[in-house]
Chain A
């Protein structure tokens, strides 16, 4: 029975196992994730050079397709593409076509005509980048820059880079992810990445209103008590709490959330003494994290941003090279499909 569509790995990889889209960390191999991290390592110092560019994507067009606005993520992708010498087009679709009633499919067909080589996609619906990669643009590399609650694989990989940088590796590590798990594509991608890379334990910590039902399916241990959950962990990842969660009766108040799940030095004591603190940003001081922690010696939040550009450069260059190997060299191949 040919009922099941291909698993995400088949969509994302070429026949010989190279990355051609980066949609989700799930189902990717450990060696591929390590390749991403190693490639990123080679790009980290590009930002320190006088000429901050490498020519890997020269002549390529990268289109940032943001159906949901996000200045920060879009900027880091833009910077990453420019450091790879690509031409970059930013399309803030949240404010344009689809709000005028054009369907996603129509929008994409219009963009295809621009002969783009890569779409960096942020979309409010889970699965949107899969739809784009499968249905619309088989020869355009698609990078998921966050889809609904589903995945944010480049954020997860920059977090993995950060963890590897500070902890040397993943073996034996206990990692806690704290806060609004329910709405978090970051938490889902982190759980997959940590499990694939061999972390000892991934913990999700939050109140039951912010934990998806059956979330253990992600290979995590669930804690509702933050002190218990933080015990002996090596890495604490705090998630951003959106203010609208209070309006939809998921939480009574920011104050009570902070009391229970906000990270301060007092709670951080329960983690290992050398534990690092991470946050995908932007942080809400006094909501999920105290300034004493965010600005404290254990915080690596700002370094995450630096690594983020390198990781995005790695993923973009790998996907373009995967597309080229799948479809032959792009020269003389101007039909856009």
Chain B
């Protein structure tokens, strides 16, 4: 692992959405800590990084990543995937509880150990809310939180029984643990692999209706209100869900939400030709949903944008569409695609960057995603104007992405994670 950084990053465009800072400045990092941000800093002995023409951003916080421990069936390991994160300017990863499943302190220790040893990113495990994610018995949430979990959740697994779910939430609320929800009614989604809309109707793909999400979200919100638990809703995909979230916020519920970057850029049309790299759950929805999601990110109804990283081996995608394993490998493209949203005029720069830095940190209740002096530095230096072919620089073990053959903007020159150098790109 790299030692604590002693750097002077000079003349970059420093953008820190949390403080509203957007100016040309120098940053001094000493003993891994961000000491000063200012004009014409001087630091004898520090390595000078010339960042003129580049951007300096807080390290990205990705609120939804599926990593794998051996045996999970996914491709790649914590080292390979966190390295892809570092190369994409991401410093904090919230790992979904289906990684293990994360229902014992030993699994949490294993994840933290592997992540620490690799040293590419801070991996923040989300604990399983029920044992084995089975939805029947409470997991030891307190013990798991003590072991280092930042929240509890069920990933894609459901707690079907409303009574058990209510007790899970009450128990989590006892320790003020945030709960991560991924709303999708299992019965309404059963057997489906595509948005229940015109493209699925034409291609004959079994559909997952938008109401599968909103029905479950409505139930979750009512139970959140009844139990007072802090709630974060992940991977929102439909217009109907946005009405429910807005209403919940109006009533003052402690809720936040995220959306995957893919649902902001792609819609059901991407499935044309049975492109299995666009097989993802929740499914890519209609273009009106996509527009509504963009508006919801712009107005803050949706706080954060995440990668929804799911690395899948090529053989799991080499099959007829409905038989393929859902998921898009997203760490390599999160930052480039956020830049694309901005350059396409779909989101203003400050809000787009906030949605991958300070906002997800707030949703997760962690101190990250901003350039704070006096704290270990997590940041990245980015050549935002440069573009490159993604395929030749792909680092995730999962090459399952509709963007693999695309040329996208943004090359990360350097990433600092918690005071240590986690990525340095060639020129």
Residues on A with beta carbons closer than 8 Å to the beta carbon of B274: 5, 126-127, 130-131
- The reply to whether B205 and A126 contact each other, CB–CB distance below 8 Å, is yes
Q: Is A135 an interface residue (CB 8 A)?
A: yes
- The reply to whether A2 and B320 contact each other, CB–CB distance below 8 Å, is no
Residues on B with beta carbons closer than 8 Å to the beta carbon of A5: 272-275
**Nearest residue, chain B, Cβ from A5:** B273
- The reply to whether B320 and A128 contact each other, CB–CB distance below 8 Å, is yes
- Cα–Cα distance between A26 and B272 once the two chains are bound (Å): 12
Q: Is B233 an interface residue (CB 8 A)?
A: no
Q: Is B318 an interface residue (CB 8 A)?
A: yes
Q: Is B203 an interface residue (CB 8 A)?
A: yes
- The reply to whether B201 and A218 contact each other, CB–CB distance below 8 Å, is yes
- Cα–Cα distance between A216 and B323 once the two chains are bound (Å): 26
- The reply to whether A26 and B202 contact each other, CB–CB distance below 8 Å, is yes
Within 8 A of A (CB), among B198-224: 198-207, 209
Chain B's interface: helix, strand, loop or mixed, by majority?
loop
- Cα–Cα distance between A154 and B350 once the two chains are bound (Å): 55
- The reply to whether B201 and A126 contact each other, CB–CB distance below 8 Å, is no
- The reply to whether A7 and B273 contact each other, CB–CB distance below 8 Å, is yes
| Number of A-B pairs, beta carbon distance below 8 Å | 103
- The reply to whether A4 and B205 contact each other, CB–CB distance below 8 Å, is no
Q: Is A185 an interface residue (CB 8 A)?
A: yes
Residues on B with beta carbons closer than 8 Å to the beta carbon of A127: 203, 205, 274, 320-322
Residues on B with beta carbons closer than 8 Å to the beta carbon of A212: 196, 200-201, 207
**Nearest residue, chain B, Cβ from A104:** B319
- The reply to whether A105 and B202 contact each other, CB–CB distance below 8 Å, is no
Q: Is A8 an interface residue (CB 8 A)?
A: yes
Q: Which of B201, B275, B318 contacts A213 (CB 8 A)?
A: B201
Total chain A interface residues with beta-carbon distance under 8 A: 35
Residues of A bordering B, CB below 8 Å: 1-8, 11, 26, 103-105, 123, 125-128, 130-131, 135, 147-151, 185, 188, 212-218
- Cα–Cα distance between A206 and B123 once the two chains are bound (Å): 52
Q: Which of A2, A151, A185 contacts B405 (CB 8 A)?
A: A2
Residues of B bordering A, CB below 8 Å: 196-207, 209, 266, 269-270, 272-276, 315, 318-323, 402-403, 405-406
With A4-B273, A213-B207 as contacts: A131 and B201 at CB distance below 8 Å: no
Residues on A with beta carbons closer than 8 Å to the beta carbon of B323: 104, 125, 128
Residues on B with beta carbons closer than 8 Å to the beta carbon of A7: 272-273
- Can you name 7 A-B pairs with beta carbons within 8 Å? A3-B402, A130-B273, A135-B318, A147-B320, A213-B200, A213-B209, A218-B201
Minimum C-beta distance from B333 to chain A (A)? 12
Residues on A with beta carbons closer than 8 Å to the beta carbon of B322: 125-127, 148
Q: Which of B209, B273, B321, B406 contacts A125 (CB 8 A)?
A: B321
- Cα–Cα distance between A190 and B206 once the two chains are bound (Å): 19
